[in-house]
């Protein structure tokens, strides 16, 4: 992560190691990744809700509904808010999200690469609520797991979560 000045005193920062910076006044600044979350939602036909990214980075590529945590939001709150904003689903429309994995992504935004720590969940749809593609989602629909091309999934974390979920489901069905 690019860090030039101390957020406490404005002095020039130097990289100490990894994600730890130190300024001339001795302040230590931790350049932590930004938290984000997403959710792979399964229906009763073992199809997954896949969204198409409306904006760059990764415009036109596949994703799971999700996004950055706002401020001091928890992962649980963030994933519920994103599901509502992006596909119009409320927490009562799916089972309680279960943790799949977390992974780091590089998010290219306005000439900067932002380190993102993404927490990937999965859940099952309850009933047959309407799915609405909105916010930064161009399209949202359920696709059979076997028909999803992992190379079309933009973020590493989301792809790794997909592959882990797919291996669980393949294992359970044999």
Residue 11 vs 101, nearer CB to Zn ion: 11
Q: CB under 5 A: which stretch of 16-24, 90-98, 131-139, 141-149 binds Zn ion?
A: 16-24
Place of tokens 């600044």: 29
Interaction between residue 6 and Zn ion (CB under 5 A): yes
What size, in residues, is the chain?
174
Kindly state whether residue 28 participates in binding Zn ion, applying the rule CB under 5 A: no
**9 is a site residue for Zn ion (CB under 5 A):** yes
Residue nearest to Zn ion (CB): 6
Please state the closest distance from residue 25 (CB atom) to Zn ion, in A: 4
The Cα angle at residue 152 between residues 49 and 158, in degrees rounded to 5? 60
Q: Kindly state the smallest distance separating residue 7's Cβ from Zn ion, in Å.
A: 8
Answer yes or no whether residue 27 interacts with Zn ion by CB under 5 A.
Answer: yes
Q: How far is the CB of 8 from Zn ion (least distance, A)?
A: 4
Selected from 5, 16, 20, 25, the binder of Zn ion by CB under 5 A is: 25
**Contact with Zn ion (CB under 5 A) among 8, 59, 90, 132:** 8
Which residues sit opposite 47 in a β-bridge?
Answer: 144
Q: For Zn ion, which residue of 23, 41, 50, 137 counts as binding (CB under 5 A)?
A: 23
Which positions touch Zn ion (CB under 5 A)? 6, 8-9, 11, 23, 25, 27
């Amino acid at each position: 992560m690019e860090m030039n000045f101390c957020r406490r005193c404005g002095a020039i920062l130097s990289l100490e190691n990894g994600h730890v910076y130190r300024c001339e006044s001795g302040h230590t600044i931790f350049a932590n990744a930004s938290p984000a979350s997403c959710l792979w939602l399964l229906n009763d036909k073992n199809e997954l809700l896949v969204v198409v990214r409306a904006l760059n980075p990764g415009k036109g590529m596949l994703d799971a509904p999700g996004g950055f945590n706002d401020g001091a939001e928890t992962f649980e709150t963030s994933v519920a808010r994103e599901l509502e904003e992006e596909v119009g689903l409320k927490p009562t429309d799916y089972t309680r999200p279960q943790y799949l994995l977390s992974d780091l992504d590089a998010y290219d935004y306005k000439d900067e690469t932002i380190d993102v720590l993404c927490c990937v969940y999965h859940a099952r749809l309850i009933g047959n609520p309407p799915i609405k593609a909105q916010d930064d989602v161009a399209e949202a629909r359920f696709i059979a797991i076997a028909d999803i091309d992992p190379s079309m999934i933009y973020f590493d974390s989301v792809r790794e979560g997909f592959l882990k979920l797919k291996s669980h489901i393949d294992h359970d069905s044999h």
